[in-house]
Amino acid sequence: MTTSALKNRFALQHTTVSGTIAQTWTIIRLWRERARQRRDLAEMSPDMLRDIGVSPRAARAEAARPFWVA
Find out whether 42 and 67 touch, Cβ atoms under 8 Å.
no
The whole-number pLDDT of residue 14 equals: 64
Q: What confidence tens digit (pLDDT) does each residue in 31-44 have?
A: 999 999 999 999 99
Find out whether 43 and 63 touch, Cβ atoms under 8 Å.
no
Find out whether 42 and 59 touch, Cβ atoms under 8 Å.
yes
**Is the entire prediction scored with pTM above 0.85?**
no
The whole-number pLDDT of residue 67 equals: 96
Average pLDDT on 51-69 reads 97
Q: What confidence tens digit (pLDDT) does each residue in 2-19 have?
A: 667 666 666 666 678 888
Output the average pLDDT for the chain: 89
> Could you tell me which residues come within 8 angstroms of residue 52 by beta carbon, excluding any fewer than 6 positions away?
44
